[in-house]
Structure 1
Amino acid sequence: MTQTTSGQGCRDRNLLTMRAVSSITDFCIGPLIQLCSESLSLLFSIYNICLIIYISSCLYYK
């Protein structure tokens, strides 16, 4: 039977806590980041379309 010091036990608990937080972060935050990325991509596409329409109208009425 191996005995661990209280310092070792504390380090083990900290490691388990960090792993749990990392897993929760990957599960919860990861999809949110992907969703935000897709939303920004869509907004950028809409902005580009509006910019093209604006430039086209400026050239048309010139």
Structure 2
Amino acid sequence: MAILEILGFMVLLAVGLVVFGIILGIVIWVFELIGMPKPPNTGDPELDEEIRLQRLMENAGEI
């Protein structure tokens, strides 16, 4: 009987992980639809910071 309890727990855990993955996927998808600004990733930290500051200045000018 202990084996059945362990198998049941494993099945519940697997189902929970699948549901969590689906929910996480939907949340990420919604954020992409909204158009969350992605941080610059050029490989050069100084250039990334410059691009980020430029975007902040552009956004401040739009308000």
> What's the TM-score, normalizing by structure 2?
0.54
Asked if residue 40 in structure 1 is aligned to residue 34 in structure 2, the reply is no
Q: Could you tell me how far apart the structure 1 residues matched to 2:26 and 2:32 are?
A: 10
Q: Which is greater in Rg?
A: 1
Q: What stretches of structure 2 of length at least 5 have no aligned partner?
A: 36-63
Q: What stretches of structure 1 of length at least 5 have no aligned partner?
A: 1-27
Tell me how many residue pairs correspond in the alignment: 35
Deviation at 1:40, TM superposition (A): 0.3
Ranked by relative contact order (alpha carbons within 8 Å, sequence separation 6 or more), the top structure is: 2
More helix by share: 1
RMSD of aligned Cα (Å) = 0.5
- What percent identity do the matched residue pairs reach? 17
Which residue in the other structure is 1:50 paired with? 23
